[in-house]
């Protein structure tokens, strides 16, 4: 099959594209190569993808609807995995307009393509940040999620709702997956693991918010990709009339639309996470303890029952394995 992967030069898009290509699929990759972080990293990822005959990459902003439509007309795809977005919880406090342009307008343009040119499955990246101020743990897909704390989270939740409308109106099989703190080799420089590793190696203080009293449900990149690949084979189907929603399934009663957590349900204390980095580096951090940052949540915790039910799979790589894998990549990439 041919997959369209938006954000193919990004952290997750690169790993997914490489996996799909290795599995024998064709990948049409789109990426804007925006300078939110080091563009050289994006070019290095893309260079690896170009080793595969089935890869076709294009530099394109999703806000450019005309160019997007022209590309699609020449390269129809079976499945769309929409990963491209303006990422970063904290950056959304500094440059909110970037999130409206990329996340709302860009996603709308992609959804319009799936309306005009029907696909077998439209897959949309969302985030655990969509749960916002929810205190019921673990986070369950059927829980109400209307208390987002940053514009980033609000735009991602908005795209889930937009996708539901399109799924209902145009019968587009749609899965929106909520990621839980993804990490691993080729990760983004703005993410905590990258910053902590660099700071510890450089001997500079690392900022630890809320004095380290936070927990995250970390998801190793290979586990995430395995889940996405498996979910690609399970497109939602519009329920029959009279369908009674299952309390354990987020399938819409009126559309082929489902929201799914991708996380292992194993929250890790931030200080324990930092300790794993120190072990992998053989060097202690210099902590700079700070108050809770605006927009942060204290804990994320995925209920992975629905993922298990649909795919027979749940992320399980512990940070004791995932963190050293990242550190090994970092040292090799930066010749440390």
Q: Active-site positions?
A: 152
| CA angle (195 as vertex; 189, 201 as ends), nearest 5 | 120
Nearby residues of 268 by Cβ (< 8 Å), 6 or more positions away: 215, 216, 217, 218, 319
Sign of the C-alpha dihedral computed for residues 73, 75, 77 and 81 taken in this order: negative
Cβ–Cβ < 8 Å for 310, 259: no
Distances in whole angstroms, Cα of residue 223 to Cα of each of 83, 309, 320: 16, 16, 14
Q: What is the DSSP letter of 103?
A: I
321 burial class (0-12, 13-18, 19+ CB within 10 angstroms)? exposed
Cβ–Cβ < 8 Å for 125, 177: yes
Omega before 121 within 30 of 0, i.e. cis? no
């Amino acid at each position: 099959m041919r997959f369209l992967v938006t954000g193919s030069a990004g952290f997750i898009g690169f790993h997914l594209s490489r996996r799909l290509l290795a599995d024998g699929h064709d990948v049409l990759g789109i990426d804007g190569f925006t300078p939110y972080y080091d563009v050289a990293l994006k070019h290095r990822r893309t260079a690896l993808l170009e080793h595969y005959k089935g890869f076709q990459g294009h530099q394109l902003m999703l806000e450019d609807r005309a160019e997007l439509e022209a590309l699609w007309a020449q390269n129809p795809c079976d499945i769309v995995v929409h990963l491209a977005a303006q990422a970063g919880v904290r950056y959304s406090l500094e440059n909110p307009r970037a999130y409206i342009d990329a996340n709302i307008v860009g996603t709308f343009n992609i959804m319009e393509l799936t309306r005009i040119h029907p696909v077998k499955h439209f897959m949309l990246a969302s985030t655990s940040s969509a749960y916002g101020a929810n205190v019921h743990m673990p986070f369950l897909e059927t829980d109400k999620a209307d208390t987002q704390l940053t514009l980033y989270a609000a735009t991602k939740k908005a795209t889930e709702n937009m996708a539901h409308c399109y799924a209902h109106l145009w019968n587009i099989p749609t899965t929106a997956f909520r990621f839980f703190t993804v990490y691993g080799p080729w990760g983004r420089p703005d993410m905590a693991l990258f910053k902590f590793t660099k700071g510890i190696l450089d001997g500079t203080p690392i900022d630890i918010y809320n004095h380290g009293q936070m927990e995250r449900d970390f998801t190793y990149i290979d586990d995430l990709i395995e889940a996405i690949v498996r979910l690609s084979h399970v497109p939602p189907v519009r329920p029959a009339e009279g369908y009674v929603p299952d309390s354990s399934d987020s399938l819409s009663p009126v559309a082929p639309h489902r929201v799914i957590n991708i996380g292992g349900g194993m929250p890790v204390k931030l200080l324990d996470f930092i300790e794993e980095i120190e072990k992998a580096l053989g060097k202690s951090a210099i902590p700079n303890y700070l108050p809770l940052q605006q927009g942060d949540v204290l804990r994320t915790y995925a209920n992975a029952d629905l993922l298990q039910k649909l795919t027979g799979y749940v992320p399980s790589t512990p940070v004791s394995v995932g963190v050293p894998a990242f550190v090994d990549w970092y040292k090799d990439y930066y010749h440390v």
